[in-house]
Amino acid sequence: MGSLILPYSGAVYLDANCVIYSVERIEPYDRLLQTVWQAAQSASIEIISSELTLLETLVKPIRSGDSQLERIFRELLLHSKEVRLLPISREILEYAARLRAQTSIKTPDAIHAASALTSGCSLMLTNDPAFSKIANLNVTVLSELTTG
């Protein structure tokens, strides 16, 4: 398994699947992402995501009636010092529309990419290779680190 290379400082964007892997401890991705959380706790990097991540992470626990998991996601995304959620502003939506028109990525992915780009993140972590289509977005796809 490869290792995750993080910037020495600055912002790292996590899409919803990375948050889910960490909270639900889904391997091998949870192990890879531990370095991100440790770096954020030591304040060497800032973890950024979109408010869209709140929606995406809450669906499963709400559907299954798992109030404890729902509470954990809310606590992490809304109250932890390690994560900053960006609002879905008009600027983000217009940028997302341009990205979608240029690359045909899905709307939620376009919102995540636009959020990462407008906030100046030096790295985006995901498990969706569609993000690799976007120019100027430095992407690491976690599954590519787990294959030999």
On whether residue 5 sits in a domain, the answer given is no
Pairing of strands 11-14, 123-126: parallel
Domain of 35: which CATH number?
Answer: 3.40.50.1010
Longest dimension (CA), the chain: 41
On whether residue 2 sits in a domain, the answer given is no
On whether residue 115 sits in a domain, the answer given is yes
The confidence score (pLDDT) of residue 148 equals 56
Q: Are 11 and 46 in contact (CB under 8 A)?
A: yes
- The count of other CB atoms within 10 Å of the CB of residue 144 is 12
Q: What is the pTM of this model?
A: 0.94
Q: Are 54 and 23 in contact (CB under 8 A)?
A: no
Rg, C-alpha atoms of the chain: 15
The confidence score (pLDDT) of residue 147 equals 73
On whether residue 136 sits in a domain, the answer given is yes
On whether residue 99 sits in a domain, the answer given is yes
- Asked whether the predicted pLDDT for residue 60 surpasses 90, the reply is yes
